[in-house]
């Protein structure tokens, strides 16, 4: 099995993005699966172009993207991506689409094809705070998750894919009072546990566990 895992570059003047920093620290092999790592730009559409080019090059079985979500306390696999860009702030090329469809011929939404509940369960077993997220937002993270699932739906039905958000790391919140963070070592441990769950349940249905929210 081959897993392509990407992380975003630093965004908005930040010197670091925990997403790609964690990806870089992952082992090159997990449970016998080859881990292919790459950095993608925090830019609407360009991120997808770069990622799809890599998919064609390495032909992975699983496509997994990692992004940061400031304000979250744990690692959060995303359940769904919606077909809209509505950027509250500009991306790294100062693009700020508002109420724009990502793909005119795409579904209104695509659900992750990863075993997100098994992933959360495995992370918790590793003593890493984790939960399912039911909204990836409307910025570049939702955009790339939607694009992954769009190309799988249209071109690669034998592949699976999805997205995980990770918290800020401590050095990012020094000047951000009351913002939660997680150290990079724990983020890496959580991602590795999540990847193990992907491998273990590859080709199988997700576990039936409570993972919903009231609001």
Please determine, for residue 148, whether its predicted confidence score (pLDDT) is greater than 80.
yes
Does residue 165 have an active-site annotation? yes
User: pLDDT tens-digit profile of 39-93?
Assistant: 999 999 999 999 999 999 999 999 999 999 999 999 999 999 999 999 999 999 9
Q: Are 144 and 67 in contact (CB under 8 A)?
A: yes
Annotated catalytic residue, options 21, 45, 78, 143:
78
Does residue 215 have an active-site annotation? no
Tokens standing for residue 182: 């997680």
Q: Are 60 and 4 in contact (CB under 8 A)?
A: yes
Q: How far apart are the C-alpha atoms of 187 and 168, rounded to whole Å? A: 10
Task: Lay out the sheet containing 29-30: strands in order across.
Answer: 29-30, 33-40, 2-8, 62-68, 160-166, 76-77
Looking at residue 15, its pLDDT comes to 87
Looking at residue 58, its pLDDT comes to 98
Instruction: Please name every residue paired with 35 in a beta bridge, in sequence order, or none if there are none.
Output: 3
User: pLDDT tens-digit profile of 98-137?
Assistant: 999 999 999 999 999 999 999 999 999 999 999 999 999 9
Please determine, for residue 215, whether its predicted confidence score (pLDDT) is greater than 80.
no
H runs (alpha helix) in the chain: 18-25, 46-58, 116-125, 140-155, 184-200
Looking at residue 213, its pLDDT comes to 81
Annotated catalytic residue, options 141, 166, 192, 196:
141
Average pLDDT of span 198-211: 92
Annotated catalytic residue, options 165, 166, 192, 196:
165
Tokens standing for residue 52: 């799809």
Full-prediction pTM beyond 0.85? Answer: yes
Does residue 65 have an active-site annotation? no
């Amino acid at each position: 099995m081959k897993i392509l895992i990407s992380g975003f570059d630093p965004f908005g003047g930040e010197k670091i993005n925990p997403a790609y920093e964690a990806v870089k620290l992952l082992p090159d092999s997990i449970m016998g699966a080859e881990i292919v790592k790459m950095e993608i730009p925090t830019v609407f559409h360009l991120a997808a172009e770069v990622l799809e080019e890599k998919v064609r090059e390495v032909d992975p079985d699983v496509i997994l993207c990692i992004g940061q979500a400031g304000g979250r306390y744990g690692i959060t696999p995303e359940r769904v991506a919606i077909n809209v860009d509505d950027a509250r702030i500009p991306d790294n090329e100062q693009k700020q689409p508002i109420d724009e469809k990502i793909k005119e011929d795409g579904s209104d939404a695509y659900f992750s094809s990863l075993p997100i509940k098994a992933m959360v369960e495995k992370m918790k077993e590793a003593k890493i705070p984790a939960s399912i997220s039911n909204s990836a937002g409307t910025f570049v993270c939702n955009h790339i998750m939607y694009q992954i699932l769009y190309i799988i739906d249209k071109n690669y039905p034998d592949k699976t894919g999805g997205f995980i958000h990770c918290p800020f790391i401590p050095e990012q919140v020094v000047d951000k009072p009351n913002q939660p963070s997680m150290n990079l070592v724990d983020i890496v441990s959580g991602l590795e546990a999540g990847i193990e769950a992907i491998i273990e349940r590859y080709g199988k249905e997700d576990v039936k566990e409570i993972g919903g929210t009231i609001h």
